[in-house]
Amino acid sequence: MDEAAIEELELSDAESFEEVQLTAAQVIEMMEEAWVNEKFAPEILPHKMEVVDCLLGQIAYMEENLQSLPSTDFKKSIHQLEVDRLRFLVSSYLRTRLEKIETYVTHILKQEQQRHESKEDLYLSKQELKFAKEIAEALKQNFDGLVSFYPGLPLEEWVSQPVQPNMHSFVFLKSKKDVNEVVIDDGSIATEGESDLVDFREGAQILIAYSSVAGLLKKGDVKLI
């Protein structure tokens, strides 16, 4: 076994992420958190493309190093498995987002438009946005062709009632720090002050309607589990 190659593998952790001051382990942890959050949140979350790109870079680097190891080396298989695992993580994260984008495309594009108008950060990455627009267009064309036999049909309904995520579905979460007075949204229209409040301690695990914690999640105060 080429000791230098292994060392290099490990060194790569420190070197390639110097500019963002992150270790490889930190990047992986961030990716894992983003993946779990995306997997369990009903709606699409702000994208984490910088983490994805970071990790992909690291995967490419590791694979390059692995190439140079003889195929019989036991360490190679361990590292290869790790690379495969990381690639699964990224793929699964991106796949989950694509699923959501496709399922809720009309809804998501509408929200992105609003965010764009109010100069907020978009949730979709550039590539995702392009993809979303393309498939929305393809869907529209398909439907247009369908109802073109008679002009002026009442078609507003599928646009006005787009497929939407169920924001009230329940999620398990873990609080990353103390958060006080979270308003519990039970779906009823409660007036201010009447609604129930709850405090999260750091590390606490809670089952709660997603709508109550969507904001906290996006801020990074809590994570889903």
Partner 1 sequence: MYVEDLKKDFYEFLAGKRVFLVVHYDIDSICACKILQSLLRYKHVSYSLAVVRGLEDLKTAYHENCADVKYYILLNCGGTLDVIEELEADEDVTFFILDSHRPTDLCNIYSNGQVKLLSLPDEDVGVPHFHDIFREESDEEEEDENDSEGSGSEDRASKRRRLDEESIMKRRERRLWEENRDKLVFDYSQFTYYARASAIRLFELAWQLNKEDKDLLWLAIVALTEQMLFGKIENTQYTLEIGPLQAHANRLQNMTNDTDVLTSLKIAFEKDLRLALYRHWSVEDSLKYSMFTAVKMKLWSLRGDKKLHELLADMGFPLIQSRQAFKSMDLQLRKEFHEVLEKLSEKYGLQDLVYASFTLQYGYRNKYCAADIVYALLAILEASPRDKKPEELFNLALDCLSRSKKEVLDSAIERAKIIVKTLFKTAQSALDLKQIITAGPFVYYIIQEGCLDWYMFSHLQILLLLAHFILRAYVAVSRNRKAPSLPLVVSAPKSMDAGTCIILGIPPLCENSPKNFFGKAFEQAAERINCDSKCDYFDTSYFEIHTKDRTRFFDALTALLS
Partner 2 sequence: MYGEKAYALVKECANHENSLPPYNASLVQEVSNEIRTLVEENQEDAQTSTEETSDSGSVVSTIRLRHAAVKRNLRCLMAYHYNRLRLLRKMRWEFGSILPADIKSNLSPAEIEWFAKYSRSLASYMRSVGDDGLNLAVDLKPPKSLYIEVKCTVDYGRYELNDGTVLLLKKDSRHYLPRSECEELVRQGVFEHIL
Partner 3 sequence: MPLPSSYSPNYFSIDDILATQERTPCKFLLNVPKMGQLNPSAAERDLKAGTSLELPLWLVIEMSAGRQPIITPELPKVFRESYREILKADACAVDLHKYSLHFYEVGSYVKHFDRRGDVHEILLHTFKTRYRQLMDLADNSVSDPSVQHSLDTLEKRIFVASHSARTKLNSWLIKSGSPLEAAELVVNHKKRKRVDVDDMK
Q: Which spans of this chain sit near partner 3 (rule: CB under 8 A)?
A: 39-40, 42, 92, 95-96, 99-100, 103, 157-158, 161-166, 168-170
Site stretch for partner 1 (CB under 8 A), options 67-75, 135-143, 190-198, 206-214: 67-75
Give φ, ψ of 67 to 5 degrees: -50, -35
70 interacts with, out of partner 2, partner 3, partner 1, none, CB within 5 to 8 A per kind: partner 1
Residue 101 CB contacts under 8 Å (≥ 6 apart), including other chains: 44, 108, 124, 128, 131, 132, 135
142 interacts with, out of partner 2, partner 1, partner 3, none, CB within 5 to 8 A per kind: partner 2
Pairwise CA distance, residues 68 & 85, whole Å:
20
Name the strand (E) or helix (H) holding 215: helix 210-219
Closest CA to 43 of 164, 195, 204, 155: 164
E-strand spans in 87-221? 170-175, 179-183, 197-200, 205-209
Site stretch for partner 1 (CB under 8 A), options 55-63, 64-72, 105-113, 186-194: 64-72
Among 3, 19, 67, 70, which residue sits at the site for partner 1 (rule: CB under 8 A)? 70
Q: Tell me how crowded residue 100 is: count the other CB atoms within 10 A of its CB.
A: 21
Contact residues toward partner 2 (CB under 8 A) are: 52-53, 56-57, 60, 77, 80-81, 84-85, 87-88, 90-92, 94-95, 98, 102, 127-128, 130-131, 134-135, 138-139, 141-143, 145-147, 149-150, 153-155, 157-158
CA 16 to chain centre: 24
Closest CA to 104 of 64, 57, 52, 139: 139
Q: What angle do CA 43, 165, 38 make, to 5 degrees?
A: 25
Among 77, 92, 127, 141, which residue sits at the site for partner 1 (rule: CB under 8 A)? 77
| Cβ atoms 148, 67 nearer than 8 A | no
Give least dist CB 166 to partner 3, A. 4
Give least dist CB 4 to partner 2, A. 23
Give least dist CB 140 to partner 3, A. 14
**In DSSP terms, which residues pair with 208 in a beta bridge?**
171
Give least dist CB 128 to partner 2, A. 7
Give least dist CB 74 to partner 1, A. 9
Among 21, 72, 118, 160, which residue sits at the site for partner 1 (rule: CB under 8 A)? 72
Contact residues toward partner 1 (CB under 8 A) are 70-72, 77
